[in-house]
Amino acid sequence: MDVDDLRRPGQLRRLNCALLKLWGLRPCIGDAELVLTELATNAFQHGGGDDITVTWCADAARLIIQVKDSSHERPVLRAVDEVSERGRGLCIVEALAAEWGISEDGTTVHCALALPGRAA
């Protein structure tokens, strides 16, 4: 990861915040920011660098965030403990998301956050 890559998760958080405010989804900004940061950081660190795409979409009950990179190596949910310094990203995503998954080719991780007060 170079210096520019270190800045990108922060840039994505600001974009996420602005977009969700525009969409009237303020209640999920915090959780969305956290899962986006974890997925984007993983993509920058392990996914081949510059070729990363983030997509947001919302339906009546969910906000869906997808992060695509150029690596076909599938991310792995690791067992971590209180002293683990790394490997918590997908654990955080799993804890916050109503659902999450990885594309068959390993290039895209998506998660869906339930929107407070909205029916599925």
The pTM assigned to this predicted structure is 0.85
Give pLDDT, residue 8.
Answer: 78
The more confidently predicted of residues 17 and 82 is 17
For 58-98, what is each residue's pLDDT tens digit?
999 999 999 999 888 888 777 766 666 666 778 889 999 99
Nearest to 52 by CA among 63, 44, 60: 44
CA distance 120 to 110: 18
Give pLDDT, residue 57.
Answer: 96
Give bridge partners of residue 67 from the DSSP assignment. 54, 109
Give pLDDT, residue 37.
Answer: 92
